[in-house]
Amino acid sequence: MLTFLKVLAFNGLIILFFWYVGNSIPQQRKDPPKESDLTVDMTTEAFVAAGEEIFYGKGTCALCHTIGEKGERCPNLAGIGELADARVQEASYQGDASDGPEYLVESLHNPAVYVVDGYQPTMPALGRQLNDLEMVAVVAFLQSLGGEVTVTGETRFAKYRGEGDAATAATSAAGAAPAEVAAAGGTGPELAAQWGCLACHSVDAPIRLVGPSLYDIGARQDENFIRESILKPDAVIAEGFPPNLMQLTLDGTGFYQKLAIQDLNTLVDYLASLKGGE
């Protein structure tokens, strides 16, 4: 009985400890503006500011894009406000967008429809993770880069986002559990491209991009490690690299946790097979 009480007390202490630690660790990133913080009647300036916050924060855009400097792997978005209007006029443009704002939304929902000259189609489709007003905010911010902001809180992009149904948007923003996500299918290399892994990782040479080269990951690590690197990137931080990059997410639950289990397995098998050309 005494042992039992001791165990009980010990467990209680452990729980208290974790509770304390959990509450005392300062939040590493600012909470994104909640859906409820954005309102239809906000001013243009307020939408631009909210969009900027999403761009540098939970939108994860700034992990890849620069504004002002030439981007090595991802295009510089300075001037994109004006450029977006010009894109849809280009003879080579094959998409559905009829104006600049729609082009920007299309870039987020179907990035591969128009691939910027000199870049690979490695941008992940992030659009579904933003609700209607967050999308307006991001578009307002992008338009403000060299263009005129024409969107308002009333603007909806039904062509890309269904009927602009707030409830649907809220559900997709809340994120689905991995099990509910339909597998995209496809091979490992295709999935690695689709999910933007290649923007940060080389798979065919020992070169360091934003993240470590994965060309020999299968020789260095086992499948469990690889799986964990994808699902809980911060559990193990590769030496010499910044933490948090892969974990920055749109909704705080982990971007790559949205991979369907089947696709995750395909990716892990593929990476485990990369042995550095041995």
Query: Is 260:178 a contact under the CB 8 Å cutoff?
Result: yes
d(CA 172, CA 150): 25
Q: By the 8 A CB rule, do 85 and 147 touch?
A: yes
Candidates 16-24, 94-102, 181-189, 207-215 — which segment interacts with ligand HEC by CB under 6 A?
207-215
| Site residues (CB under 6 A) for ligand HEC, limited to 221-250 | 226, 229-230, 233, 237-238, 241-243, 245-246
Q: Find, among 259, 262, 264, the residue nearest to 249 by Cα.
A: 259
From the list 27-35, 40-48, 182-190, 204-212, the region that binds ligand HEC by CB under 6 A is 204-212
Using the rule CB under 6 A, is 199 a contact of ligand HEC? yes
Q: What angle do CA 114, 120, 123 make, to 5 degrees?
A: 70
17 is an interface residue for ligand HEC by CB under 6 A: no
CA distance 69 to 245: 20
Q: Which stretch binds ligand HEC (CB under 6 A): 15-23, 27-35, 42-50, 117-125?
A: 117-125
What residues have CB less than 8 Å from 98, skipping those under 6 apart? Answer: 88
- Token pair, residue 161, equals 């986002």
CB of residue 194 to ligand HEC, shortest distance in Å: 9
Out of 256, 257, 260, 272, name the contact with ligand HEC by CB under 6 A: 256
On whether the CB atoms of residues 263 and 191 are closer than 8 A, the answer is yes
Contact residues for ligand HEC (CB under 6 A)?
55, 59-61, 63-65, 74-75, 80, 83, 87, 104, 107-108, 111-112, 114-116, 119, 121-124, 126, 138, 142, 195-197, 199-201, 210-212, 214, 217, 226, 229-230, 233, 237-238, 241-243, 245-246, 256, 267, 271
